[in-house]
Structure 1
Amino acid sequence: MVEIREVLRAWLAGAGLRTVGERAGVDRKTARRYVQAAEAAGLVRDAGPGAVTDELVGAVVAAVRPSRPNGHGPAWEALAGHEEQIRAWVTGTGTGTGKAGRALNLVKVHELLARQGCQVPYRTLHRFATERCGYRVKATTVRVADGEPGVECQIDFAYMGTITDAETGRDRKVHALIFTAVYSRHMFVWLTYTQTLAAVIAGCEMAWAFFGGVFKVLIPDNMKPVVTAAEPVNPRFSAGWLDYAAHAGFATDAARVRTPTDYPENSVIPSFTRSALSLAGFVGPYSG
């Protein structure tokens, strides 16, 4: 519903479908489907933002995402009839597998299904094979001790999208500097247009005020303003960052290189969406 509302608001403001999709975080085809469904429900281009009511959004949702009694669409149901064969292909068991009983890759499986008349989107096949057929089963997650409260804090940038600058009228990228307390998973988000050292330090200062103190150890995800050379054993930090760390009184422990699974900050993005930026009228850093 948030996506639909953002698409319609941008479309009513006169933006093209490509721009509308970029602002709402969807592709152009999806934006077109939302707009067409809204027009069928009676929305006209010269209507104001007030025309995007809950009733209109509900009508668009009903049109573009019809009810699915079992939670899945017809493509999923078509794959259910081939479940055993797909499992044999992706696990390397049974007949029709690769040489020496090796498992087939999913692209080949998609091709073989098409030959049998089962035409489904590749993404649906990927979800089905992962959830039902044992394709690339994830390893067991081992929980790591979180340490003591107030000791470690992870920081990283996340791209939030674009927003129109009220002063210049041009679109600008917005980044979120996310602080995650390792023990409590409590988060603080600082919005900024840049990813410079000055922006990182400004975010840190607001974070310390928010948390009520400075953590003993900061774990940055190899961001360039902080880590000038990422290395598994001896990472190099920028001189400006080391000066600030000495001033604030914390130590820096860089994250493991190319290991995004170590970071929990992605959980904040769904709850702090681009629509939140629009509602806040963001024209500069925002904390909350």
Structure 2
Amino acid sequence: MAFREVNVNEVKEVLRVWLGVPGSRPPGLRTIAAHCGVDRKTARRYVEAAQAAGLQRTDGVEALDDGLIGAVIEAVRPARPIGHGHAWDQLLGFEDQIIAWVAGDGNHPPLTITKIETLLARQGCLVPYRTLHRFATERCGFGRKDTIVRVVDGDPGSECQIDFGYLGYLTDPETGRRRKVHALIFTAVYSRHMFVWLTYSQTLAAVIAGCEAAWAFFGGVFKVLIPDNLKPVVTDADAVNPRLSRGWTTPSTPGSTADPARIRSPKDKPRVERAVQYVRGNYWSGEEFTDLTEPSGQTSRVGRRRRDRARQRNPLQCSG
């Protein structure tokens, strides 16, 4: 059985409802459970523990002090001498096997937690998925190995990250054939405001057209632009001294500095990397477009919707 932490407010509310209103008929356990949003057996355990601690139905609400609530929680909380429950103890006997599954070998790739859960169940070890995931992460080397470093977003209007993302196919109304559709995505680092430019190709002309539309949308050009290593933009990719095409630097980015991301380094442009997934899943998928001009009219709404969601997560960093 999975362990659930005992909530102080939950215990107090159950006991308050159980005491009832003076002069009226006290409610039953089923009514108490429905009112407090807990299981009937849970409500019974709280009430029985409170009665064992000396609470009576004739007492007032003032009897629900910290001492009584503490005694109830101590009585109903499962015994966890090492900070873990019975499911964790079961997994300790399979620790070496889980480590091998997580690491993989020359014949088998590393297994997922879902597959490990299935294999353990075949051996009679039935544990909650969340407990298994936590056990594999803490003791068996599963999960992210890299250290996460938070990057400062900078000032409003200082940086914009640019990347191409493949979306799918669309019938070209001019030729009548199905063509691949790419999205040139611009993400303002500070506000997460986003602009999407759709194109059938990734030529220099398409990139410049997308940039001009983006600057009109944002109302100006950013101080620093971080594009991906697109061939029309970067003629010679280098981690220190990349060579930019003249067609990119002159007409499309006046007054700004370009700092291309390193090859195969998505961490250099994480804001727009996440935006590619958002555009593909929340902007393109499930829609029926007739040409590129139809979805292009929705880019401002998509950008504002994503910015508003980012503001809900972190309002202090999404105001510019």
Q: TM-score, normalised by structure 2?
A: 0.51
Which residue of structure 1 lines up, in the alignment, with residue 54 of structure 2? none
Which residue, 255, 259, 282 being the options, matches 2:291?
282
Which residue, 254, 258, 263 being the options, matches 2:260?
254
Q: In structure 2, what residue type is equivalent to 1:156?
A: D
Deviation at 1:136, TM superposition (A): 3.4
Which residue of structure 1 lines up, in the alignment, with residue 80 of structure 2? none
Q: Does structure 2 conserve the Cα–Cα contact (< 8 Å) formed by 1:86 and 1:129?
A: no
SS of residue in 1 equivalent to 2:179: strand
Q: In structure 2, what residue type is equivalent to 1:161?
A: G
| Higher gyration radius (CA) | 2
Which stretch of structure 1 is more off in the superposition, 159-168 or 178-187? 159-168
Matching of residue 272 in structure 1 with residue 283 in structure 2:
yes
Question: Following the alignment from structure 2 to structure 1, what is the Cα–Cα distance between the partners of residues 189 and 109?
Answer: 39
Question: Following the alignment from structure 2 to structure 1, what is the Cα–Cα distance between the partners of residues 133 and 229?
Answer: 31
Deviation at 1:255, TM superposition (A): 1.1
* Distance 1:175-1:133 versus aligned 2 partners, 3 A rule: same
Deviation at 1:166, TM superposition (A): 2.6
Q: Does structure 2 conserve the Cα–Cα contact (< 8 Å) formed by 1:130 and 1:136?
A: no
SS of residue in 1 equivalent to 2:250: helix
* Distance 1:131-1:210 versus aligned 2 partners, 3 A rule: farther
Matching of residue 133 in structure 1 with residue 142 in structure 2:
no
- Residues 50-93 of structure 1 show CA distances to partners (whole Å, capped at 9, x for unaligned) of xxxxxxxxxxxxxxxxxxxxxxxxxxxxxx9x9557653454xx
Question: Following the alignment from structure 1 to structure 2, what is the Cα–Cα distance between the partners of residues 201 and 132?
Answer: 51
Which residue, 183, 196, 202 being the options, matches 1:195?
202
Which residue of structure 1 lines up, in the alignment, with residue 96 of structure 2? 88
SS of residue in 2 equivalent to 1:172: strand
Which residue of structure 2 lines up, in the alignment, with residue 205 of structure 1? 212
* Distance 1:187-1:84 versus aligned 2 partners, 3 A rule: farther
Where structure 1 has 5 or more consecutive residues not aligned to the other structure, the ranges are 1-79, 92-96, 120-126
Deviation at 1:141, TM superposition (A): 1.6
Deviation at 1:273, TM superposition (A): 2.1
Q: In structure 2, what residue type is equivalent to 1:257?
A: I
Q: In structure 2, what residue type is equivalent to 1:286?
A: S
* Distance 1:222-1:113 versus aligned 2 partners, 3 A rule: same
Question: Following the alignment from structure 2 to structure 1, what is the Cα–Cα distance between the partners of residues 184 and 111?
Answer: 41
* Distance 1:104-1:221 versus aligned 2 partners, 3 A rule: same
Question: Following the alignment from structure 1 to structure 2, what is the Cα–Cα distance between the partners of residues 199 and 180?
Answer: 18
Q: Does structure 1 conserve the Cα–Cα contact (< 8 Å) formed by 2:204 and 2:233?
A: yes
Question: Following the alignment from structure 1 to structure 2, what is the Cα–Cα distance between the partners of residues 87 and 281?
Answer: 55
Deviation at 1:188, TM superposition (A): 0.6
Deviation at 1:155, TM superposition (A): 0.4
Number of aligned positions between the proteins: 193
Which residue of structure 1 lines up, in the alignment, with residue 109 of structure 2? 107
| RMSD over equivalenced CA pairs, Å | 3.7
Which residue of structure 1 lines up, in the alignment, with residue 173 of structure 2? 166
Question: Following the alignment from structure 2 to structure 1, what is the Cα–Cα distance between the partners of residues 132 and 246?
Answer: 49
Matching of residue 238 in structure 1 with residue 245 in structure 2:
yes
Where structure 2 has 5 or more consecutive residues not aligned to the other structure, the ranges are 1-87, 124-129, 300-320
Question: Following the alignment from structure 2 to structure 1, what is the Cα–Cα distance between the partners of residues 230 and 146?
Answer: 28
Identity fraction in percent: 50
* Distance 1:286-1:113 versus aligned 2 partners, 3 A rule: closer
Which residue of structure 1 lines up, in the alignment, with residue 234 of structure 2? 227
SS of residue in 1 equivalent to 2:151: coil
Q: Does structure 2 conserve the Cα–Cα contact (< 8 Å) formed by 1:188 and 1:207?
A: yes
* Distance 1:283-1:245 versus aligned 2 partners, 3 A rule: closer
Deviation at 1:195, TM superposition (A): 0.5
* Distance 1:114-1:214 versus aligned 2 partners, 3 A rule: closer
Q: In structure 1, what residue type is equivalent to 2:170?
A: I
Q: In structure 1, what residue type is equivalent to 2:191?
A: S
* Distance 1:114-1:227 versus aligned 2 partners, 3 A rule: same
Question: Following the alignment from structure 1 to structure 2, what is the Cα–Cα distance between the partners of residues 86 and 195?
Answer: 52
